[in-house]
Structure 1
């Protein structure tokens, strides 16, 4: 079941401020405290995230998987890196599955980058992954999130909806539902 943009905005509004007032003060806003409390609850059950990663590892041979979460964000991210092999073409992309801790929703996207001497740089988030080879990990990650968590995918047009909230380094009119539900820095991966 898809949750509407209005419903997602109502949820996000409980965790992100609509003004800069608290950014200029020493005290934490009630919304930030709610986000921190959501992370505390989620981290009490962190083993389910490790189990999810391990189950996905069996379904995605040929990919290195990393799980990351930051209390500055609103969700966990699982990054699938194609393992490089001398017999295969070089991949300069990874697939990222984001799972919100605020709403029962997820998103899957790609991060493209340049790879020079084993170092990644020039990261760019691609919200409609279409390069050859991306379909398989996108399908597997999506189906495993739905199977394990029962969450619904947020369509790209809804996740890119501008919202009147301040999320980390983003502020209106540049803030989107994606920023508030997942991360304001989608291209930032290890």
Structure 2
């Protein structure tokens, strides 16, 4: 049975606050303590996550597979990059290149996942632009995204979080996002989707 937006909002209220009451305190908020407990339990699944990464490597041999998990987020994240040289968009005196990745996320707070793409433009080694794609993904990202989705569903028993639910604005702070810019996606997955190592 699909999880509703109301159910998800009820869940994330346990882990994120709507105020800054604990910002200057030495102790963590009750919400932060609960998130830390969730991570302690989730890290017991790290072996399963590593299996997923190996299986993705076997299924996507022309890609580099990375673990982009950070315990400041509320999810396990993997990144899938083409292992070929970046595409040059402006071969002139100053080379510009474009790199991209597909990112798969499994929330530690609810049995849902999300897949998105990121694109980075560089001038030499300097990143000059970044863009996050949700639905629809650019054509080059679609095939790896489908493989990641199938693997996440099979290994973790999770379902895709529909975009219309992921984009619902919530009255909670998920650093650095604050209302009205915070969404269910940020609370369930990452407030920095564009930051992928």
Same fold (TM > 0.5)? yes
- The number of aligned residues is 190
Q: Deviations over 1:153-178 (max 9, x none)?
A: 00111101100111121111111000
Work out the CA distance in 2 between the residues paired with 1:118 and 1:84.
16
Q: What does residue range 12-91 of structure 1 map to in structure 2 within 5 Å?
A: 12-84=12-84
1:134 equivalent among 132, 138, 141: 141
CA drift at 1:118: 5.5
Distance 1:129 1:115 in 2: 23
Please report how far the alpha carbon of residue 78 of structure 1 lies from its aligned counterpart in structure 2 after TM superposition: 0.5
8 A Cα contact 1:146 1:152, kept in partner: yes
Paired with 1:91 and 1:136, the residues of 2 have a C-alpha distance of 19
Local SS of the residue matching 2:23: helix
Q: Using the alignment, how far apart are the partners of 1:105 and 1:130 within structure 2?
A: 19
Question: Is the Cα contact below 8 Å between 2:64 and 2:83 reproduced in 1?
Answer: yes
The structure with more radius of gyration: 2
Post-superposition offset of 1:121: 4.6
1:117 to 1:84, Cα distance in 2 relative to 1, 3 A = farther
TM-score of the superposed pair, with normalisation by structure 1: 0.92
Residue ranges of structure 2 left out of the alignment (5+ in a row) = 90-96
SS of residue paired to 2:135: coil
Cα offset for 1:117?
3.6
**8 Å Cα contact 2:98/2:121 also seen in 1:** no
Per the normalisation by structure 2, the TM-score is 0.89
